[in-house]
Structure 1
């Protein structure tokens, strides 16, 4: 029987923790572009990573736990919420997280922590970062429609346009679309954490902006990120994977078949 908890029991910082490796750094960047959440209880001097989302995305959260397991003392567990059950974990405080918090969180005139896109985000993008971003916030379009979308509702129009420009430079064509009533971006490191499947605990905003990846952009994006996407999220693609095992090479291969 799985344990359920309303609270986390999280140890304090451990100065002996190993530095973040490349995979961990890429995962954090992708999560922060999506619904990632770095939490501070020291006024911004130190941070820990919080990963929490719908229980239906347990395979993804378990995957992230495997990446950060060296920094976690309590395995992922169910968290009872008023509207259902989530699933997640918290890491120890790690000195390497502070760099990303300072990049993505700014304090506005009202003293609120606002999540935004770093002006130099282009320096940090790579295929694996894009894969974690897409797994966190990406979606395929409706039946019969080509391309993808990335839900960037939590960011300002300027931030979304910056992301669009960076993706274009990366060879992925996008458009910025204004949508109707949804949420703003006031989630910060001291606030209620957002879910892995959509940001929560935020105020309403009359306009929000999402990134639409064109069909041409999708053809550039998918081959780059697919090696890093876990099987749980294959439903976010308009294709079938026909996989095989080669007896001669002893390797597994997959062929993409679109529909």
Structure 2
């Protein structure tokens, strides 16, 4: 597994990515994203394609609750031993069911690129147009696990982080005063289709999705 693949797995397993196993030895990675994020899922696929038999597939799902069609792309890898380390790191077998958990030593595995993948999966603006603060959705994790992630971000990257609870869901917020550090850490690793999730330093966002590397470099210089 390349370092790029390691960052992808660590970051997205903190987010929307998941691993599945039948026996704890062979593991399969699965990714699903809305159609607007096709460049992102193709990026994931390009990194993991040696473990795949098919490219990301398009599908449309009708939700009876909202009466809307939702368009998405998804792909699965094969079941392989290469992902066993990450499976055992992030999953615990509870009465025959493998449940995702946050490793107690998660700080050791967090890198700026892994943080960028986590943000692209589950990050968002906290107050669009009013602040450069951001949040990380940690809805599926326990309070203790969220606090573990908070400590890792504070210790590893010296970010100012707080937790917020609503309806029994605890999320992380990275405060506006840490925007310069966060910007330096993850902006170089964000894909253009994900710029809309990240502040521009002036309480706004950069909304262009199909931009050249030259424009990206100009944007990077402007907000650093």
Q: What is the TM-score of this pair, normalised by structure 2? A: 0.85
Partner in structure 1 of residue 84 of structure 2: 98
Unaligned runs of 5+ residues in structure 2 are 64-69
Whether contact under 8 Å (2:16, 2:31) holds in the other structure is no
Check conservation: 2:126, 2:173, Cα contact below 8 A. no
1:145 to 131, 140, 147: 131
Q: Does residue 203 of structure 2 align to residue 223 of structure 1? A: no
Moved segments of 4+, more than 4 Å: 240-245
Alpha-carbon deviation of 1:94?
2.3
Matched, 1:177 2:158: no
**1:249 corresponding residue in structure 2:** none
Alignment of 1:1-259 (within 5 A): 20-40=1-21, 42-83=22-63, 84-108=70-94, 111-142=96-127, 143-170=129-156, 171-180=158-167, 207-239=168-200, 253-254=218-219, 255-257=221-223
Please list the CA deviations of residues 130-176 of structure 1 after superposition, one character each: whole Å capped at 9, or x if unmatched: 00000000001222123110000110000000000111102111001
Q: CA deviation at 1:236?
A: 1.1
* Runs of 5+ unmatched residues, structure 1: 1-19, 181-206, 246-251
**CA RMSD, 1 decimal:** 2.3
Query: If the length of structure 1 is used for normalisation, what is the TM-score?
Result: 0.74
What secondary structure is seen at the aligned counterpart in 1 of 2:73?
Answer: strand
CA shift, 1:208, in A, is 1.0
In the alignment, the residues of structure 1 paired with residue 213 and residue 110 of structure 2 have an alpha-carbon distance, to the nearest angstrom, of 31
Aligned-residue offset at 1:35 = 1.3
Higher radius of gyration, 1 or 2: 1
